[in-house]
């Protein structure tokens, strides 16, 4: 009987008591640092979406440990931020208390799943001993001039009542709650991630990440090479600067467009156009950005009444405002070239503006609808005529403007008007202005408050806690007020992997030697979401800390292994309202953690989106029942098949192909149900990363005192694999009479024919009737005669 409950509880306790998975410093061994995205301790507990990467990372780290690497597989809690806080508000419990409860619950779940995390390195982003260092890093940004306060239009979620970063706005909606975001003019703290745009792009080249993830980051950073060109206003002394990627088309610019909130609108607009311009600008700014920039949307705009001079043609060209030009990109103004840009063309057609062709397409290239956006040769461009566009770009830039590399990446809005986050360690002094809290006064702890609901006024709930807000200026000792905004969700997770290397250090973020040993993360298991959030932010922090000489490598994560999501049995996304949620804890209860783990891997390739299927789990359970009953037999070793299995499992694990391993285990057991002690031990070792409990149980039944998970990984012999022939023992009535050499995998008929023609055998069976033939492939043949 396979009593999974008893077995699993027993070994979970054993691992805990024996610190089986504790990674050691200073062993001098080569290391592996395996990481999963640490969870939010939410009230709903952990689900299949957590299980999948944890199980994969677990199998992989057990494999690496057995391969002789000092292996760290740590876990912690990303416990600050909106989910924890919203849960607390909804349930009327203080976030600190609900977070504690949720962590205790999630921990129990994970232990029941048999995940071999190194609990000695557990961290919690809401622990003052942890966020002290989050605050310390913020101060380093501040000192380096990369944390700054600025007033501007930012994204605001009316439901969560807080400002958001650009990265937290997905298709115009709040990343957390899906509410359409608004724009609000607010004074905010920013991190100057834009200063790292190029470094973040360059760093991607060294990473072994899925191409799609790299491309998403590249697009988000959005590098464009072009030029800045100044167009003087014709009646005013000001000039307006534009950013263009096509300076070669300068002669074709027949009008200009400013963003509806461009600072020069007031100057350029003539009195007779003012009312119309202001009304248009108002309406445009109330529209969500996503609507304004949609490619297929009908273009609109209004004439300001003013003119600028095209510096190349020296013509007066009209200046318009239109919502398709954004103030947040480039200079917030464009030179419109309707003959060579689709949007400008649509606009010019609608408002009857002149269209001048300045690029001729190469012979044979068809030009559709009067717009040619490709490369070619210049025409109607004075002395630049006949120049290829690429060359003209250089010359026209040099003659009329200056080169400019433009990035789409915007600075990171870093303050939140919410309670449950790290306080930003700054004070505002009437005399000294903004003063950083001295490092030796960190952490600035989050005060206990009565009311932690967001106010919606743009002020954090902390602003109401006078005893906390009022403080003394570290500089002049005069009265000062604490900064009351908190840090975003993504602060604590931007450096958590560093803390794992030295989680209890109270004098520095982590000891440099330890960082040097463990960095970088070798394999990072995680989802496909957060590509332009956590994965971008933490690369930024790591690169910054590298430049500060604090960490030892530029890039935090060498390899990223993404997983597909697990759908409900109905093929739909698991959700409470659909009632198709498969709770991993129920599966553990009924079938055991080993069955859950193996079945989850058996479902399909780790990267695939896959539907749970309740029927198949019984097969895995039965397989483990058979495993649980295995005892060593006096059999010949299953040489070739076993070496094949070792090779297969090793390669699968190296390539994160967990599903095909499971099938190989089943097949091997079907063909070799009676393994001898040595083969059985090898088999159990191979199986141990997948089914850690039952293999540990059998290992101990075989007489071992120490954990199977600390054994070394079996090695296969290429020679054994190459071996084409096997020797088959030939018995007559159970007595060995001969041996013959046949091809591996030979069929019973082939072997029987060979045996019958052997003189050693024919003398024993001459004139007798053969009642039965017992054939064990690659092993023996036994003739039963009368
Ligand atoms: C003239 C021109 C002629 C342009 C042409 C394109 C084709 P990317 O590649 O995304 O960097 N642009 C510049 N700033 C803008 C803003 N704030 N809002 C909307 N559009 C803006 O695109 C750069 C091009 O987008 C620029 O080059 C500019 O139009 C436009 F045949 O200038 B171009
Ligand atoms: Zn002061």
**Helices 593-602 & 692-701 angle (0-180, nearest 10):** 130
Burial of 158 (0-12, 13-18, 19+ CB in 10 A): middle
Which of 135-144, 338-347, 362-371, 567-576 bottoms out in mean pLDDT, i.e. has the lowest?
A: 362-371
Q: Tell me which residue has its CA closest to atom 19 in ligand 1.
A: 325
Buried b (16+ CB within 10 A) or exposed e, 551-579: bbbbbbbbbbbbbbebbbeeeeebeeeee
How far is ligand 1, taken at its centre, from the CA of residue 337, in Å?
Answer: 10
Does residue 549 come out as left (phi exceeding 0), alpha (psi in the -120 to 50 range) or beta? left
Rounded to an integer, what distance in angstroms lies between the CA atom of residue 31 and that of residue 136?
Answer: 28
How far is ligand 1, taken at its centre, from the CA of residue 691, in Å?
Answer: 57
CA distances from 80 to 54, 140, 493 (A): 21, 21, 10
Between 757 and 484, the more confident residue is 484
Query: The pTM is what?
Result: 0.87
pLDDT tens for 37-47 read: 999 998 889 99
pLDDT surpassing 80 at residue 157 = yes
Buried b (16+ CB within 10 A) or exposed e, 74-93: bbbbbbbbbbbbbbbbeeee
Backbone angles phi, psi at 188, to 5 degrees: -140, 155
Using an 8 Å Cβ cutoff, are 139 and 425 in contact? yes
- Closest ligand to C-alpha of residue 481 is 2
Between 382 and 760, the more confident residue is 382
pLDDT at 723: 63
Ligand 1 contacts CB of residue 325 (under 6 A)? yes
How far is ligand 1, taken at its centre, from the CA of residue 243, in Å?
Answer: 7
How far is ligand 1, taken at its centre, from the CA of residue 244, in Å?
Answer: 5
Which tokens hold the place of 423?
A: 């306080």
pLDDT confidence band for 26 (50 / 70 / 90): confident
Q: What is the 3-state secondary structure (H, E, C) of 518-551?
A: HCCECEEEECCCCCCCHHHHHHHHHHHHHHCCCC
Rounded to an integer, what distance in angstroms lies between the CA atom of residue 695 and that of residue 688?
Answer: 5
Rounded to an integer, what distance in angstroms lies between the CA atom of residue 502 and that of residue 24?
Answer: 11
Ligand 1 contacts CB of residue 301 (under 6 A)? no
pLDDT confidence band for 261 (50 / 70 / 90): very high
Q: Tell me which residue has its CA closest to atom 25 in ligand 1.
A: 244
Q: Which of 153, 223, 246, 326 to mutate to test the pocket of ligand 1 (most atoms within 8 A of CB)?
A: 246
Ligand 1 contacts CB of residue 203 (under 6 A)? no
Burial of 135 (0-12, 13-18, 19+ CB in 10 A): buried
Per the prediction, the chain carries an average pLDDT of 93
Neighbours of 627 (CB within 10 A): 22
Ligand 1 contacts CB of residue 224 (under 6 A)? yes
Average pLDDT, integer, range 761-786: 88
pLDDT tens for 567-597 read: 999 999 998 888 899 999 999 999 999 999 9
Q: Which of 341, 355, 371, 410 to mutate to test the pocket of ligand 1 (most atoms within 8 A of CB)?
A: 341
In 655-783, which ranges are continuous DSSP H helix?
A: 658-671, 677-687, 692-701, 718-722, 748-756, 759-765
pLDDT at 514: 97
The residues, any chain, with a CB within 8 Å of residue 171's CB and separated by 6 or more, are 290
Which tokens hold the place of 150?
A: 């600025």
Q: Which of 231, 329, 335, 355 to mutate to test the pocket of ligand 1 (most atoms within 8 A of CB)?
A: 329
Ligand 1 contacts CB of residue 340 (under 6 A)? yes
pLDDT confidence band for 151 (50 / 70 / 90): confident
- Closest ligand to C-alpha of residue 325 is 1
pLDDT tens for 94-143 read: 888 889 999 999 999 999 999 999 999 999 999 999 999 999 999 999 99
pLDDT tens for 630-656 read: 999 988 888 889 999 999 999 999 999
Neighbours of 671 (CB within 10 A): 12
Task: Report which ligand 1 atom has the smallest distance to the Cα of 359.
Answer: 31
pLDDT surpassing 90 at residue 298 = no
Which tokens hold the place of 299?
A: 């273009």
Task: Report which ligand 1 atom has the smallest distance to the Cα of 340.
Answer: 31
How far is ligand 1, taken at its centre, from the CA of residue 224, in Å?
Answer: 10
> Above pLDDT 90, what percent of the chain?
74
Ligand 1 contacts CB of residue 293 (under 6 A)? no
Q: Tell me which residue has its CA closest to atom 27 in ligand 1.
A: 244
pLDDT at 289: 73
Q: In residues, how long is the chain?
A: 786
Q: What is the 3-state secondary structure (H, E, C) of 562-602?
A: ECCCEECCCCCCCCCCCCCCCCHHHHHHHHCHHHHHHHHHH
pLDDT at 175: 83
Beta 162-164 vs 169-170: how paired, if at all? unpaired
pLDDT at 207: 94
Q: Which of 334, 346, 375, 381 to mutate to test the pocket of ligand 1 (most atoms within 8 A of CB)?
A: 334
Between 476 and 173, the more confident residue is 476
pLDDT tens for 219-238 read: 999 999 999 999 999 999 99
pLDDT at 458: 74
pLDDT at 643: 93
Half-sphere exposure for 213 (CA within 13 Å, toward CB): 21
How far is ligand 2, taken at its centre, from the CA of residue 481, in Å?
Answer: 10
pLDDT at 268: 96
Nearest to 462 by CA among 427, 496, 510: 427
pLDDT surpassing 90 at residue 418 = no
Average pLDDT, integer, range 710-736: 87
Ligand 1 contacts CB of residue 246 (under 6 A)? yes
How far is ligand 1, taken at its centre, from the CA of residue 258, in Å?
Answer: 12
Between 370 and 601, the more confident residue is 601
Q: Tell me which residue has its CA closest to atom 9 in ligand 1.
A: 224
- Closest ligand to C-alpha of residue 429 is 2
Which tokens hold the place of 271?
A: 């009195």
pLDDT at 449: 82
pLDDT surpassing 70 at residue 342 = yes
pLDDT tens for 476-514 read: 999 999 999 999 989 999 999 999 999 999 999 999 999
pLDDT at 716: 92
Rounded to an integer, what distance in angstroms lies between the CA atom of residue 465 and that of residue 164?
Answer: 23
How far is ligand 2, taken at its centre, from the CA of residue 433, in Å?
Answer: 7
Q: Tell me which residue has its CA closest to atom 7 in ligand 1.
A: 341
Task: Report which ligand 1 atom has the smallest distance to the Cα of 324.
Answer: 19
Which of 256-265, 365-374, 407-416 bottoms out in mean pLDDT, i.e. has the lowest?
A: 365-374
Task: Report which ligand 1 atom has the smallest distance to the Cα of 337.
Answer: 3
Ligand 1 contacts CB of residue 321 (under 6 A)? no
- Closest ligand to C-alpha of residue 436 is 2
Q: Tell me which residue has its CA closest to atom 11 in ligand 1.
A: 224
pLDDT tens for 206-218 read: 999 999 999 999 9
């Amino acid at each position: 009987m396979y009593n999974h409950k008893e077995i699993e509880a027993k070994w979970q306790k054993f691992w805990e008591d024996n610190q089986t998975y504790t990674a050691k410093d200073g062993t001098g061994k080569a290391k592996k640092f395996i990481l999963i995205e640490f969870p939010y301790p939410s009230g709903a507990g952990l689900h299949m979406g957590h299980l999948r990467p944890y199980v994969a990372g677990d199998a992989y780290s057990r494999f690496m440990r057995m391969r002789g690497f000092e292996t760290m597989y740590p876990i912690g809690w990303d416990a600050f931020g909106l989910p924890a806080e919203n849960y607390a508000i909804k349930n009327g419990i203080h976030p600190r208390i609900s977070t504690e409860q949720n962590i205790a619950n999630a921990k129990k779940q994970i232990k029941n799943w048999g995940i071999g995390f190194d609990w000695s390195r557990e961290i919690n982003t809401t622990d003052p001993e942890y966020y002290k260092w989050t605050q310390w890093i913020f101060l380093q940004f501040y000192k380096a001039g990369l944390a700054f306060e600025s007033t501007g239009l930012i994204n605001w979620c009316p439901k969560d009542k807080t400002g958001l970063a650009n990265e937290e706005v997905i298709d115009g909606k709040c990343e957390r709650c899906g509410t359409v975001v608004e724009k609000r003019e607010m004074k905010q703290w920013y991190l100057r991630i834009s200063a790292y745009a190029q470094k973040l792009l360059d760093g991607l080249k060294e990473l072994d990440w899925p191409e799609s993830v790299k491309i998403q980051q590249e697009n988000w950073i959005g590098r464009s090479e072009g030029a800045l060109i100044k167009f003087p206003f014709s009646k005013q002394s000001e000039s307006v600067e534009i950013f263009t990627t096509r300076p070669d088309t300068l002669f074709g610019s027949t009008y200009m467009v400013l963003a509806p909130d461009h600072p020069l609108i007031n100057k350029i607009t003539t009195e007779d156009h003012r009312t119309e311009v202001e009304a248009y600008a108002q309406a445009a700014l109330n529209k969500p950005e996503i609507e304004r920039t949609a490619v297929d949307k009908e273009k609109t705009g209004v004439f300001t009444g003013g003119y600028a001079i095209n510096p190349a043609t020296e013509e007066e060209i009209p200046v318009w405002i239109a919502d398709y030009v954004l103030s947040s990109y480039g200079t917030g103004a464009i030179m419109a070239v309707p003959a060579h840009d689709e949007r400008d063309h649509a606009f010019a057609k609608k408002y009857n503006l002149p269209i001048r062709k300045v690029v001729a397409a190469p012979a044979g290239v068809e030009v559709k609808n009067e717009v040619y956006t490709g490369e070619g040769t210049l025409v109607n461009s004075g002395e630049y005529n006949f120049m290829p566009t690429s060359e003209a770009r250089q010359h026209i830039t040099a003659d009329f403007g200056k080169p400019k590399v433009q990035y789409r990446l915007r600075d990171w809005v870093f303050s939140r008007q919410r309670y449950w986050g790290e306080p930003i360690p700054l004070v505002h002094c009437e005399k000294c202005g903004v003063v950083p809290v001295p490092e030796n006064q960190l952490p600035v702890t989050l005060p206990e408050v009565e009311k932690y609901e967001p106010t919606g006024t743009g002020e954090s709930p902390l602003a109401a806690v006078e005893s906390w807000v009022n403080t003394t200026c570290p500089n002049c000792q005069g009265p000062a007020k604490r900064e009351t905004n908190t840090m975003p969700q993504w602060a604590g997770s931007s450096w958590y992997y560093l803390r794992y290397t030295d989680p209890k250090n109270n004098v520095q973020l982590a000891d440099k030697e330890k960082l040097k040993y463990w960095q970088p993360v070798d394999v990072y298991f995680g989802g496909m979401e957060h590509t332009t959030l956590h994965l971008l932010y933490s690369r930024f922090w790591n690169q910054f800390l590298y430049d500060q000489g604090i960490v030892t490598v530029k890039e935090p994560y060498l390899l990223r292994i993404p997983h597909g999501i697990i759908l409900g049995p109905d093929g739909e996304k698991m959700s409470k309202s659909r009632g198709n949620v498969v709770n991993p804890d129920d599966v553990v209860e009924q079938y055991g953690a080993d069955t859950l783990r193996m079945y989850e891997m058996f479902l399909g390739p780790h990267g695939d989106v896959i539907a749970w299927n309740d029927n198949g789990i019984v097969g895995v359970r039965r397989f483990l029942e058979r495993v649980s009953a295995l005892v060593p037999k006096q059999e010949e070793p299953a040489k070739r098949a076993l070496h094949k299995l070792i090779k297969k499992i090793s390669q699968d694990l190296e390539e994160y192909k967990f599903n095909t391993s499971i099938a190989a285990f089943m097949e091997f057991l079907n063909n070799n149900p009676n393994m001898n002690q040595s083969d059985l031990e090898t088999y159990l070792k191979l199986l141990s990363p997948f089914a850690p409990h039952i293999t540990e149980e059998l290992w101990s039944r075989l007489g071992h005192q120490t954990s199977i998970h600390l054994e070394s990984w079996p090695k296969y012999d290429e020679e054994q694999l190459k071996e084409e022939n096997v020797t088959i023992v030939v018995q007559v009535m159970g007595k060995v009479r001969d041996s013959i050499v046949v091809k591996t995998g030979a069929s019973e008929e082939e072997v029987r024919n060979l045996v019958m023609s052997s003189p050693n055998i024919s003398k024993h069976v001459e004139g007798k009737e053969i009642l039965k033939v017992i054939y064990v492939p690659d092993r023996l043949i036994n003739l039963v005669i009368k």
